[in-house]
Chains A and B, each alone.
Chain A
Amino acid sequence: MSLTSDAAATGALTPTKPKASRLSRERIRSAWLFLAPMLIVLAAVALYPLYRTIYFSFTDASLDLLGEARWVGFRNYLEYLDYGNGQGEYFGLLVDARWWRSVWNTVWFAVVSVALETVFGLIIALVLFRKFPGRVWVQAAVLIPWAIPTIVSARMWAWMMHDQFGILNDMLERVGLIDTPIAWTASPETAMIAVIIVDVWKTTPFMALLILAGLQMVPQDIYEAAKLDGVPPFRLFRKVTLPLIMPAVLVAVVFRALDALRVFDIIYVMTPNTDSTRSMSVFARENLFDFDQFAYGSAASTLLFFIIALMTISFIYLTRMNLEGDER
Chain B
Amino acid sequence: MKRHLAFLTALAGATVLAGTAIAAELNIVHGSVGRDQEILRSQLDKFEAETGHTVTIVSMPESTTDQFAQYKLWLAAQSSDIDVYRLDVIWAPQIETHFIDLKPHVEDIIDDYVQGAIESQMVGDKLVALPMFLGAPALYYRSDLLEKHGKDVPATWQEMTETAKAIMEAERAEGNEDMWGFVFQGAAYEGLTCNAQEWIASFGGGRIVENDGTIAINNPKAAEAINLAASWVGDIAPDGVLNYKEEDARGVFQSGNSVFMRNWNYAYALGNGDDSPIKGKFGVSTLPTGGEGMEPAHTLGGWHLGVSKYSENQEEAIELVRFLNNYENQKERAIVTSRPPTLTAVYEDPEVAAEQEFIPLWKPVVDGALPRPSAATKRQYNEVSSEFWTAVHDTMSGKGTAEENLARLEARLQRLKGANW
Contacts and interface: CB of A to CB of B under 8 A. Distances in A.
Interface of A: 62-66, 91, 162-165, 181-183, 185-188, 271-275, 285-286, 289-293
A289 B383 CA distance: 11
Given A164-B240, A164-B251, A272-B393, A66 B76 contact: yes
B95 interface: yes
B240 A186 contact: yes
Interface string B247-269: 01001100001000000000000
B159 to A, nearest CB: 25
Of the four ranges (under 10, 10 to 19, 20 to 34, 35 or more), the interface on chain B belongs to 35 or more
Contacts of A272: 187-189, 242-243, 393
Given A183-B243, A274-B188, A290 B386 contact: yes
B390 interface: yes
19 contacts: A64-B72, A91-B415, A164-B178, A164-B257, A181-B240, A186-B241, A188-B399, A271-B243, A272-B189, A272-B242, A272-B243, A272-B393, A273-B187, A274-B394, A274-B397, A290-B68, A290-B386, A291-B383, A291-B386
A273 B394 CA distance: 11
B326 interface: no
Nearest to A185: B243
Most buried by A among B94, B257, B383: B383
B238 A164 contact: yes
Main secondary structure of the interface of B (DSSP, over half): helix
A183 B239 contact: yes
A290 B69 contact: yes
Most buried by B among A62, A164, A181, A273: A164
B1 interface: no
B382 interface: yes
A290 B390 contact: no
B240 A289 contact: no
B103 interface: no
A275 B188 CA distance: 10
Contacts of B363: none
A289 B187 contact: no
Nearest to A271: B243
B380 interface: yes
A233 to B, nearest CB: 46
Main secondary structure of the interface of A (DSSP, over half): loop
Contacts of B76: 63-64, 66
B417 interface: no
Given A63-B72, A290-B382, A291-B383, A275 B390 contact: yes
Given A63-B73, A181-B238, A292-B94, 13 more contacts: A62-B379, A64-B72, A163-B239, A164-B238, A183-B242, A186-B242, A187-B397, A271-B243, A272-B242, A274-B390, A275-B394, A290-B68, A293-B383
A188 B233 CA distance: 13
Nearest to B393: A274
B115 interface: no
A292 B382 contact: yes
B182 to A, nearest CB: 14
B75 interface: yes
Contacts of A165: 251
Contacts of B244: 186
B273 to A, nearest CB: 19
A274 B242 CA distance: 10
Given A272-B189, A274-B390, A289 B72 contact: yes
Contacts of A182: 239
Given A64-B95, A64-B98, A273-B188, A292 B383 contact: yes
Contacts of B241: 183, 186
A211 to B, nearest CB: 35
Interface in B379-421: 379-380, 382-383, 386, 390, 393-394, 397-399, 415
Given A64-B76, A64-B95, A164 B242 contact: no
B379 A292 contact: yes
B37 interface: no
A163 B238 contact: yes
B72 A187 contact: no
Contacts of B251: 164-165
Contacts of A66: 76
Contacts of A290: 65, 68-69, 382-383, 386
B276 interface: no
B176 interface: no
A104 B186 CA distance: 25
Contacts of A275: 390, 394, 399
B59 interface: no
Nearest to A62: B379
Contacts of A63: 72-73, 76
A183 B393 contact: no
A182 B95 CA distance: 40
A9 B1 CA distance: 49
Interface in B345-384: 379-380, 382-383
B310 to A, nearest CB: 11
Contacts of A293: 383
B380 A64 contact: no
Contacts of B397: 186-188, 274
B95 to A, nearest CB: 7
A289 B94 CA distance: 12
Contact of A289 (B73, B238, B239): B73
B97 interface: yes
Given A64-B76, A66-B76, A162 B189 contact: no
Interface string B261-304: 00000000000000000000000000000000000000000000
Nearest to A190: B239
A162 B94 CA distance: 35
B389 to A, nearest CB: 8
B71 to A, nearest CB: 10
Contacts of A188: 397-399
A289 B71 CA distance: 9
Nearest to B75: A64
A293 B380 CA distance: 9
Contacts of A285: 69
Contacts of B73: 63, 289
A63 B74 CA distance: 11
